[in-house]
């Protein structure tokens, strides 16, 4: 597992110029912060998420900073089908021809409760959103990522809840274990086939709505903000990470 200290990487201002990057969960939290930041570094961002109003807010902030105009593609990972992912792929192919980056950021928490009290319906919802949908989306977009002239980059989002098998984290912890395995398996299959790389980021304790829900008694001002971990996403999406594959970066 690879660690990159925050002080070790400074991105050039044109790092992502001319690149097209899709982010799930771009309407809030880390996804929103990453979308705004990578647009500032020159990327055209494809914004996906369930809430159109939230996506429009992210879009407006990108426009306000005079970055390349983003594209809004509403997508509900819990309900999306293979046909929906194919439609998204075709839209990107027609509009851009290729995709340079995919940030699998969206996830849901579910309940923090003992496994023997976990509801089957919620279990299926969390695993579908956090794992199955990410597999389906990534698989659908892989042909476009392989066509990237910059060397495509796929980022999955993992969590300490999965690494440490934290008690009472239920389906969420299991989903993050699965995402880590999915990333490593896919990266191994991709090794030596080209410039496309597949990695993961563990954001750590970050000031988000999901964190607040998980730890309601915690003082959010004690946590780092989403903007303080942007460096990890910039590193993995830019050319400085060419050759980095199958790694997890701890953005702490």
DSSP result, 159-203 = -HHHHTT-TT-HHHHHHHHHHHHHHHHHHHHHTTSSS-EEEEEE-
In the block, tokens 């896919």 appear at 186
| Beta bridge pairs of residue 71 | 46
Strand partners, 155: 103, 199
Say if CB 77 and CB 132 are below 8 A apart.
no
User: C-alpha angle with apex 44: 108 to 211, nearest 5 degrees?
Assistant: 20
Q: Which of 85, 172, 233, 250 is catalytic?
A: 172
C-alpha atoms less than 13 angstroms from C-alpha of 26 in its C-beta half-sphere: 32
Distance CA 34, CA 26 (A): 8
For residue 251 the two structure tokens come to: 């953005």
Residue 172: active-site member:
yes
Distance separating alpha carbons of residues 197 and 102, to the nearest angstrom: 11
Q: Where in the sequence numbering do the catalytic residues fall? A: 172
């Amino acid at each position: 597992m690879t660690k990159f200290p925050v002080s070790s990487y400074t991105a050039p201002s044109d790092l992502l110029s001319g690149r097209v990057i899709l982010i799930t969960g771009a309407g809030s939290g880390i996804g929103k912060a990453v979308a705004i930041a990578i647009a500032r570094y020159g990327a055209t961002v494809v914004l996906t998420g369930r809430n159109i109003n939230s996506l429009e807010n992210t879009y407006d902030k990108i426009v306000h900073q005079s970055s390349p105009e983003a594209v809004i593609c509403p997508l509900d990972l819990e309900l999306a089908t293979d046909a929906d992912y194919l439609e998204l792929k075709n839209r990107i192919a027609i509009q851009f021809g290729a995709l340079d980056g995919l940030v699998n950021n969206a996830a849901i928490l579910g309940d923090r409760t003992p496994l023997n009290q976990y509801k089957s319906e919620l279990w299926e919802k969390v695993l579908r959103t956090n794992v199955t949908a990410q597999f389906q989306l990534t698989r659908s977009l892989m042909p476009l990522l392989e066509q990237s002239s910059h060397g495509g980059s796929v980022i999955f989002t993992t969590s300490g809840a999965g690494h440490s098998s934290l008690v009472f984290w239920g389906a969420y912890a299991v989903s993050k274990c699965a995402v880590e395995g999915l990333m490593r398996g896919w990266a191994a299959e991709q090794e030596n086939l080209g410039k496309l790389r597949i990695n993961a980021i563990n954001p750590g304790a970050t000031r988000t709505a999901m964190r607040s829900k998980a730890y309601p008694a915690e003082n959010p001002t004690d946590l780092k903000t989403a903007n303080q971990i942007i460096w990890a996403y910039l590193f993995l999406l830019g050319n400085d990470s060419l050759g980095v594959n199958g790694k997890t970066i701890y953005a702490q």
